[in-house]
Structure 1
């Protein structure tokens, strides 16, 4: 079993042992991702320069794991393979942001 499927299995087992699937509809999983992403952002709030890159690594791992866990559960709920959807997104973004126009700029595709 690969690492991804192992983690999904562990997440589902953890959830099911606590009878939390009843709370994990798509809306609540999406909201949980947003809330956990806000907690991740809080680690960087008001930091400047080197402080931004030197956040507490344990806190970073904890908050990032929360975001990913809920994202994995939402993808699993809708039978989406995270590797496939990310790969597809990269291909779509390559069309929106061709290297010759996008290299070195943070402009949005419609501003290039």
Structure 2
């Protein structure tokens, strides 16, 4: 069984979250990714390596270039963790909306 890095540790870093946002829009080379940061290419490559090990990024060879893109399946652990909280907040906002509507109808 292949062990992988913890996805939550990976997304804890703001640079890695920014990389995820960049490659979510389009596949990019490490050079193109690094051009968006004030870090060395080596530093960005380390972040890319971590994201790849966590299966948040896929890499694809195209000629001499390697392109990185978001792996939506890798985001599943994050989405599964967040889902109960989303439902909790939706319920709270719906209750607040109901209270506000009820209050508005009483003040008219």
> Shared fold by TM > 0.5?
no
- Structure number with greater Rg is 2
Structure 2-normalised TM-score?
A: 0.28
Q: Which has the higher strand share?
A: 2
